[in-house]
Chain A
């Protein structure tokens, strides 16, 4: 399809969608209004179950089976991305040590800040996971903070240290174990007090999200920094991206 035809087609579709959406929005309850029947029930239930953070109560208690599905989506997407990013034929993955990803290539200020923030960010991530049932936060948010924290080492320019800190097979195992733990906990939680199960589920989710993030970013890093095409069939320009700091 030509670009012009495509835009015209999009224009008519967008006009129709906009008209229907506006008509639907005009029929919605007014913004900021007092009518929230589901919110009232969910808040009452959260208070009755003794979970101060009503969002965590909805996620891990009242709609825990939906979260179970979400967990499995996360797991399967991470597995699929790892499979897609495997090194394939005509490529070889070289050892990270042969590249100049040493600490010397970034400014000192950036490196110092990266090293200083690493323990602080890890502690903040653990706090957000562990305290998620009482204050804003939870397993998903804290897991992302934990996964990001480790990559401060990359921003600090120390890729070899990052590789040593996160052995990929260990994180793969930990992610699968955390997902299994979530399933078991969710199934076993039926006869369990909410005050106990919400923190436990938060912990399992935090572990899994953190591991999945580390795993995904690790695979993308390998792709960008370590995989090189070899053999006569290597086509110029066929590789996605190289390390810009690397001489060709």
Chain B
């Protein structure tokens, strides 16, 4: 039990700790000499924010990891062009109902089995049967079967045309694993150390601490957009989990890590000034947005939803807290880096408290209680906004949500913010219509096809648990389905825009800010880049200089 002495000691220790942190030892930031030479091998110590349950899975944090160990059929280059990876060529049939992929020859998984058509076909069925929740929701309703044509040719048969199939297969949710590993090893083994044909191999997972990835010396299958061929330059990646952003930055500054993920906005300029390489990728797909519960509660009324949108000066909050690093996003459907983005939808609601007040009056919320919150039939306009604290919403995001709460209060909304720990959040807390009025969150994608996942109707025989607004709207769904099956890109984008405009007009969701994937890299580590399907770090081409 602490005594007075121990409290005094704790205070002194706290003071010292603060002093040490503030002094910010800059050891790791020492820039190498201009004539620094490349050194071979070495270990990249990388500080990542979140530790997922498995290496491979349906969350972006898993995609970042599995990208290092598992190759995909195709990759997306910086110009949003699909380029070869395990597949050399691919082509849809004339009726768009089947796609033929021709694989590179001689590629093997790290367990020695070949990357052949049978393995690829097995993986498609594996994802659809729950092997990857995100791959499953992308392909659901479109995928029919995977057929082995010959050893290096696989045909994917579809139920409906899906012209953007190859684009979507660039995301790491569609990584190809060894069939032998999936069928003969335990679930736990495949979870902790999946077998792919990637540039690195999972050696050990020290839960709660780090994952050690060793170089695959026999690597032969880099994607066409990689910067070199053959094995990776470094021997090892020590993928550490450091959840606290301040600690992550401190480890980079002290030289304990060579690269870190998710740089806090406040540190951005400083690190840049200290010669660190800063990388930023605005993830396409669903931005950090707020969806309204349209099934029950006050937001079933469109006027109340619009009032909420007008009550916020989202741009001002995001730009202040985001300090020029986090971009404001007005569109509730997709982010500004997504092909087929609608600026019309993004600009529909600007800060207009007068309009917000008159809409609320018109909706019958015309009384106010002593605290200034609106009241209707004796009920306060209280709305619950839960968020995955530290997992879906980082510290900057949490500050932005407090700004939203305060601004909405000015017109009479009582927003109850509920930070939900990661385990509870992924365990399904606050996922039912009765539990929340607002849902905040992102979903990264490579195109506006993400609208299908987020807005497809949830029907009794075909539920959609990712429809955060609990909205079953056949009109909206028809725009999205039409877009999904349209091959002409311009025509397809126009349809996706129609869907975004519909979401905005009916205030079904509003954008807040764009989700970022950011990296800060020490000056002694070169060649790190962010892959352009999801913004994850690529260490395959990275090397140290001295």
The answer to whether A binds B is no
